[in-house]
Structure 1
Amino acid sequence: MPPTGSVPARRPLGTVTRGTTSPNRLRRMDRWIAHTHGAALRRSDEPPVAVDLGYGAAPWTAVELLLRLRRVRGDAEVAGLEIDPERVAAAKPYERSGLTFGRGGFEIPLPRPPLLIRAANVLRQYAEDDVPAAWERLCGRLAPGGLLVEGTCDEIGRRHVWVALGPEGPRTVTFAARLGSLTRPSDLAERLPKALIHRNVPGEAVHAFLRDFDRAWAAAAPYAPYGARQRWVRAAHALGTAWPLVDGPRRWRHGEVTIGWSALAPRPSGPSGA
């Protein structure tokens, strides 16, 4: 892939993030991407391009994304994009074949549309009303069959929630955790992406979902002696009788649950993202 600097320079779209990052912070998200999007990566007629948007003050997440995608597609390429030029300069020594770093934001200034954009902990600092436009712009930069994964996680990657979107818009929401870190599934509420975090209130679907997940978790307490994983799987089984989960035990055993976006989409008359 040509270096990102080969595209005419323009002012990046977006706001500089805090830059917090650490090794393996996005491992759970990457693992899910490789499973869910692996077939599309393998079908690509040319080396698939992925973007790590807003990778932060250190390049670790972009380096790791390349390694994980190359287990699925050996010639995958990753472009790390940051608005802050100092972060780009600091990452340049880590460039290698298939891995580049450049200055950019929501405009995704690459010569070839990416098959994947990962935007982790980027929109958290924006207003809720800003999210639809950001999603639309990023999805508009995807190659045919591409995927945008946008969400939030804690500082060491124990708890994640992310939305997966295609060119047509949001598809699913995934809740993922190191299960030993949870007392109940609703502990993940603090990591809801910006589109949902202000909607965790009575009357909104995401609030009802987390309430029901907690109830299913409580009912699965007899499985606790067999470990948190078995308890999570049993709770997910029960939850799936009332909510449209789109995955199954194979993913649940990884501490994940994925549900269709339409089931959790905010009510138009709900609270604003103030």
Structure 2
Amino acid sequence: MASRSTPSSRRAPGRPVGSVTRGTTNPNRLRRMDRWIAATHGAALRRAEAPVAVDLGYGAAPWTAVELLARLRDAAPRVRVVGIEIEPARVAGAKPYEREGLSFRHGGFEVPLDGGARPALIRAANVLRQYDEEQVAEVWARLCARLAPDGLLVEGTCDEIGRRHVWVALGPEGARTVTFATRLGSLERPSDLAERLPKALIHRNVPGEPVHAFLRDFDRAWAAAAPYAAYGARQRWIRTARALAGDWPLVDGPRRWRQGELTLPWEALRPVG
């Protein structure tokens, strides 16, 4: 979609906010994001009295919402998942998969929940790719305003089978971190992740932008760590992360690095201008 109108300006009265996505989905596509959410946000979900997690724009099939419920309940047994889709036919197709703790409804960026409930988590994966970069800030602000006080928005992009993924984590106050995640055995060099940068960053991978400098340094550290490949891709990744930490403010450590992840503050990669 090439329109530069905002999601709000495209909304007819009483209709959901947003546009229909391609709907591409596969089982286990979002497993890396789900594992990270469970590990980093599980405690907040457990503290919540009646935590609701939203799978926003789950696509043509409900697999990602079904899997999100299973993975989050390992960390927070009382969590409920609501899959929200702007395409009514997709909601109808998902209804047979409803069960205790899992429901589906028609909606968009307004995130309609019973009683105006505020979600403890909104996951929006591969949703904003079709939007213009200029629209991202408005969508982020709208979704963050719907969060519970201790809530989290995770917005990002991955490939079709979930080998490579980059996402931004946001709280009610705005963007917090950027995470790069990959199946290490499939990685030739870290800058291969550039094609999965979220919409807020993908057009900023050019000289003079922080994300471009980071991916350049990431590749250099990966190349310097080549001798560690003899011990496996995981050891090479960990060594690469240790080297990067000398110049970039990484916010995670070896426990997450071992999962093929690496996280930085949003401020370190925020676009210039």
State the TM bucket, normalised to the shorter chain: over 0.9
Corresponding residue SS for 1:107: coil
Paired with 2:171 and 2:220, the residues of 1 have a C-alpha distance of 32
Q: Give the one of 251, 254, 263 matched to 2:256.
A: 251
Match of 1:86 in 2: 89
Corresponding residue SS for 2:143: helix
Q: Which amino acid aligns with 1:14?
A: G
Match of 1:24 in 2: 28
CA RMSD of aligned residues (A): 0.8
Residue 73 of structure 1 deviates from its aligned partner by 1.2
1:48 has 2:48 as partner: no
Paired with 1:69 and 1:220, the residues of 2 have a C-alpha distance of 35
Paired with 1:225 and 1:114, the residues of 2 have a C-alpha distance of 45
1:97 has 2:100 as partner: yes
Q: Which amino acid aligns with 1:220?
A: A
Q: Which amino acid aligns with 2:187?
A: L
1:109 has 2:102 as partner: no
Match of 1:33 in 2: 37
Match of 1:161 in 2: 166
Q: Residues 123-163 of structure 1: CA distance to partner in whole angstroms, max 9, x if unpaired? A: 01100000000000000000110000000000000000000
Q: Residues 152-176 of structure 1: CA distance to partner in whole angstroms, max 9, x if unpaired? A: 0000000000000000000000000
Unaligned residue ranges in structure 1 (runs of 5+): 1-8, 269-274
Paired with 1:212 and 1:220, the residues of 2 have a C-alpha distance of 12
Paired with 1:242 and 1:152, the residues of 2 have a C-alpha distance of 26
Residue 47 of structure 1 deviates from its aligned partner by 2.0
Residue 75 of structure 1 deviates from its aligned partner by 1.5
Corresponding residue SS for 2:75: coil
1:236 has 2:241 as partner: yes
**TM-score, scaled to structure 1:** 0.94
Paired with 2:108 and 2:20, the residues of 1 have a C-alpha distance of 9
Maintained 8 Å contact 2:46/2:78? no
Match of 1:10 in 2: 14
Match of 1:122 in 2: 127
Q: Which amino acid aligns with 2:60?
A: A
**TM-score, scaled to structure 2:** 0.94
Match of 2:78 in 1: 75
Residue 10 of structure 1 deviates from its aligned partner by 3.1
Q: Which amino acid aligns with 2:34?
A: D
Paired with 2:203 and 2:245, the residues of 1 have a C-alpha distance of 24
